[in-house]
């Protein structure tokens, strides 16, 4: 994977507003926040999308995410927030290094706006899809 701006932040070549760091994980404020406290949590491992991430990095991120969410809520005095994780340009990913957005939702008009075009699950199709995904997980 080619290096992204996040690799340069990890190396300290570009400054960031750091909120957390350990051996595998770095968290810092998003430079274009949707709301105050908008934080990015990234693995130090250089992978573009979540499906490419090693179990070790995934576990390290998962271990600290709730703690960082609690800290963001406390520091911004908010109780609602969204966790967003984009994979691929079609899914709105702009920086091709895995990252989780923690986005406080202080009010209806601040934070993440969501377009949620829900449809109705066809149960016959759902059975097929669930079986296909379950079979693929065994091999993943
Ligand atoms: P995404 O669309 O999920 O790839 O989001 C990438 C995020 O990275 C955006 O919200 C950007 O504002 C943020 N970003 C890009 N460059 C920097 C930077 N140097 N420091 C902090 N956040 C950044």
pTM for the model:
0.97
Predicted local confidence at residue 138, as pLDDT: 84
The domains located in the chain, with CATH, are: 5-115 (3.30.428.10)
- Indicate whether residue 86 lines ligand 1 (CB < 6 A): yes
Task: Look at residue 11 and give its three-state secondary structure.
Answer: helix
Q: In which element (H, E) is residue 17 found?
A: none
pLDDT over 80 at 43, yes or no: yes
- Indicate whether residue 109 lines ligand 1 (CB < 6 A): no
Q: Which atom of ligand 1 is nearest to the CA of 28?
A: 21
pLDDT over 80 at 2, yes or no: no
Predicted local confidence at residue 1, as pLDDT: 61
What separation in Å is there between the alpha carbon of 93 and the centre of ligand 1? 9
List 17, 99, 115, 123, catalytic entry: 99
Q: Which atom of ligand 1 is nearest to the CA of 34?
A: 10
Task: Look at residue 102 and give its three-state secondary structure.
Answer: strand
| Tens digit of each residue's pLDDT (9 = 90 or more) over 74-128 | 999 999 999 999 999 999 999 999 999 999 999 999 999 999 999 999 999 999 9
Q: Could you tell me the sign of the dihedral formed by the alpha carbons of 52, 88, 25, 133, in that order?
A: negative
pLDDT band at 63 (very low <50, low <70, confident <90, very high): very high
């Amino acid at each position: 994977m080619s290096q992204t701006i996040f690799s340069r932040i990890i190396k300290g070549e570009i400054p960031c507003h750091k909120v957390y760091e350990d051996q595998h994980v770095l968290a810092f404020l998003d430079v274009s926040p949707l709301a105050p406290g908008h934080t990015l949590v990234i693995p130090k491992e250089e992978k573009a999308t979540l499906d490419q991430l090693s179990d070790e990095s995934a576990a390290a991120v998962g271990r600290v995410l709730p703690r960082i969410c609690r800290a963001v809520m406390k520091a911004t005095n908010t109780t609602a927030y969204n966790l967003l994780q984009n994979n691929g340009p079609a899914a709105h990913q702009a920086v091709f290094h895995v990252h989780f957005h923690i986005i406080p939702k202080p009010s209806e008009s601040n934070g993440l706006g969501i377009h949620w075009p829900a449809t109705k699950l066809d149960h016959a199709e759902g059975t097929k899809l669930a079986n296909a995904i379950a079979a693929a997980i065994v091999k993943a």
